[in-house]
Amino acid sequence: MTWPAADRWRAPVADWPPLWASSWGSDRRGLWADLIVNGVTQRLRWIEPSGPEGFLMGDPGEQLHKMVESGFWLADTPCTQAFWVQVAELQVNPSQFQQGDEAGQRPVERVSWDDAQQWLARLAQWCPATAGLAALPTEVQWEYACRAGTTTAYWWGDEFDQTRANADVVGDRDLDGSKGATTPVKRHAPNPWGLHDMHGNVWEWCDDVWRERLDGVGEGGSSGRAVRGGSWFHHPGDARSAVRYGWPRDDRILLHGFRFALRSPSPVPAPEVFGPEGRAR
């Protein structure tokens, strides 16, 4: 696949098809590529750089203009129990919700930030083509991908829709799983960029050290890490694109999972001036 010279900055640079991919292609939501480990597939989506127009990050009244200078590959779901087990050393599954025929397709949980880092290192051992590329997304990358070009509270609009995400609408869920639990990762439709479960199901660890403020002025040295996206146990308001919390990096609770990213080689610089239609997808 080739891109016109004017659009080349949007494409994977020296990375199409990716060396780690077993299959690849494009659809109405963009480029995709599949990473397979021991017969278990994780699809990743190409997240284009934002260009100089960037995007508005955060809640209204507190928004910052952010740019995503480099495109990256992002898993189209939180890491599933099935994929975790194939990569993890000794194939240990830490998850609370392991029962049932669909357990393998539920997100892995009870995973700390440190656990996720160790798992990413194991991924590079299983698939050397991912070495130096695998990481948790940053908060900026995560929110940019979650919004998928939208400006509303959720990618579908400003009101929560329980047919589109797994969150505690009624407020009666228990942590023991007797009322409510995680759901298989592709039960709900993806956002416009092909990403499932960016709202609800499990909180997703981000790479960043936790800072109370988006601009991080005067902050630093925290041992906490940022989580995004809400969970099956929390109110839908916590699943909004802009909501962010910090959590101790070594905590393992049944609300926390992750999705991983794969960096792409150095980007082509984006044009300084856009046409009248901006950056069309």
pLDDT at 178: 75
d(CA 281, CA 277): 10
d(CA 273, CA 99): 53
Residue 53, number of CB atoms within 10 A of its CB: 11
Q: What is the mean pLDDT of the chain?
A: 91
Mean pLDDT calculated for residue range 121-128: 96
User: Which residues, in sequence order, are bridge partners of residue 36?
Assistant: 41
Q: CA 137: distance to chain centroid? A: 6
Residues 227, 138 contacting (CB under 8 angstroms): no
Sign for the CA dihedral angle at 26, 27, 28, 33 comes to: negative
d(CA 266, CA 151): 28
Instruction: Give the tokens for residue 18.
Output: 């990716």
Residue pLDDT, tens place only, 8-42: 888 897 778 999 999 999 999 999 999 999 999 99
User: Which residues, in sequence order, are bridge partners of residue 203?
Assistant: 256
| Residue 214 banded pLDDT, cuts 50, 70, 90 | confident
Instruction: Give the tokens for residue 209.
Output: 């050290």
Whole-structure pTM value: 0.93
CATH homologous superfamily for the domain 5-263: paralog of FGE (formylglycine-generating enzyme) (3.90.1580.10)
Mean pLDDT calculated for residue range 158-164: 97
pLDDT at 213: 85
d(CA 134, CA 266): 15
Domain locations along the chain: 5-263
